[in-house]
Amino acid sequence: MPNSSLPEGNSEELGFDEGRLAQIGPEMQKYVDDRRVPHLVTLLARHGKIVHFESRGVLDFDTQVSAPRDTLCRMFSNTKPIAGVATLILYERGVLTPDDPVAKFLPEWSDLRVISPTEPMFPRRAQRQMTIRDLITNTTGLTNPAFAPSYFRNQYRETLEKLGWVRPREGSEERERLSNRERVRALAELPLSAHPGESFVYHAGYPILSALLEEACGQNLEQFFGENIFEPLQMNDTSFYLKDGGLPRFAAMYTPREVDGKMQLTIQDKAETSEKNIGPRTEFGGGGDSGGVLSTAGDYARFGQMLLNGGELDGVRILGRKTVDMMVGNHTGDMTIPMTGPGFHWGLGVATYHGRDRFPLIRSVGTYGWGGAAGTTYFADPQEQLLGVVLTQVTNHGAMPDNTYQETFQRLAYQSLV
């Protein structure tokens, strides 16, 4: 077992039916055999002890090198819970509070304007300041670039090109890479599409949060995450860029494309030529931009178990117990979370299941977690003291037919409890 993981436990003593638990591996293998994913690393733990930890498939279809259990994956938005913890570390130290205005740390966000589709040329002053809580809970009021209306794209095209949200006009100079701070200054040039706190638009606030955290702590996120989360938790493989010796375990990333009328996985990012390997090492996105952190199932399980333990692991305390309760609590009220459907609210970096009146899910009320753009996911169930991690490297994985490995893993995990 990799050094940076949780200890193994006896599945029967931990409340599992061994025969049912053994179904996970063969079912995961089906997704690999059908090339719906290049590999799957799956980990299940209860009461802080691992009962299932397996890897199957390959790091790269071309090389056919087997994917080990400590395969390094781009975690994308699985970085968001880590950013939430970083924010709360600074909260506990008295550096910031969730309700501090963003402008306290980033002055360019002091004069907020809101436009409406009916009066796009007449922005109005925002009803209140944008707060740090708005950044973490995706309620900034910022526009989602994927759904920006044409008038918005035309009116603010220069800024959108600078941000890389729209393709530059033909003949335009190639845009320079922006730092976190430069990106946030450019974002501040755009009006909001809703007043802060009024609507849920996923991810938009996290680039701002990344820059704000760096201003607040005086370090870049690689340094702060490393010193305050990764090193104390012995997450030895986790960082924004590959560490020395990591390349042989770093997975290629794929995306589905239609080839001859059939969806197939095609290469999106080779390990050898990935920015995560060759740089430039300048992108420390707390929301998962440019792939977020690199991690392994074992490392991420240590992070998840720390939260499940109420902020502590192996005698090392990262957060107070009540701070973790606040993190996973309801910070979005009855807003709809589009990616999860009904029954969920957004906390400070995680989505939490609070139950449904109809069609309940197999997980317990209070289960929380999140996923990443390349098909990674994790969940933590405080009621059952259950933790699950699933890693692969396929963006837009749902475009592959019947690619329900995440749902299958969770179903098999719960049905194996006695």
Identify the CATH class of 98-217. mainly alpha
CA distance 384 to 361: 14
- How confident is the model at residue 120, as a pLDDT? 80
- Residue pLDDT, tens place only, 237-294: 999 999 999 999 999 999 999 999 999 999 999 999 999 999 999 889 999 988 999 9
- How confident is the model at residue 84, as a pLDDT? 99
- How confident is the model at residue 179, as a pLDDT? 78
Is the pTM higher than 0.75? The answer reads yes
- How confident is the model at residue 219, as a pLDDT? 96
Residue 117: count of CB within 10 angstroms of its CB:
9
Percent composition of the chain: helix, strand, coil (DSSP 3-state, to 5): 30, 20, 50
- How confident is the model at residue 2, as a pLDDT? 44
Level-2 CATH architecture, domain 18-75+241-282+296-415: 3-Layer(aba) Sandwich (3.40)
In the chain, residues under CATH classification 1.20.58 are 98-217
**Residue 204 · residue 138 · CB < 8 Å:** yes
**Residue 34 · residue 41 · CB < 8 Å:** no
The amino acid at 283: E
Residue 256, strand partner residues:
265
Residues of the chain with pLDDT under 50: 1-2
Structure tokens at 415: 């049905």
- How confident is the model at residue 172, as a pLDDT? 64
Q: In whole angstroms, how far apart are CA 413 and each of 29, 326, 417?
A: 15, 27, 7
- Residue pLDDT, tens place only, 318-343: 999 999 999 999 999 999 899 999 99
In the chain, residues under CATH classification 3.40.710.10 are 18-75+241-282+296-415
- How confident is the model at residue 118, as a pLDDT? 80
- How confident is the model at residue 178, as a pLDDT? 78
**Residue 214 · residue 221 · CB < 8 Å:** yes
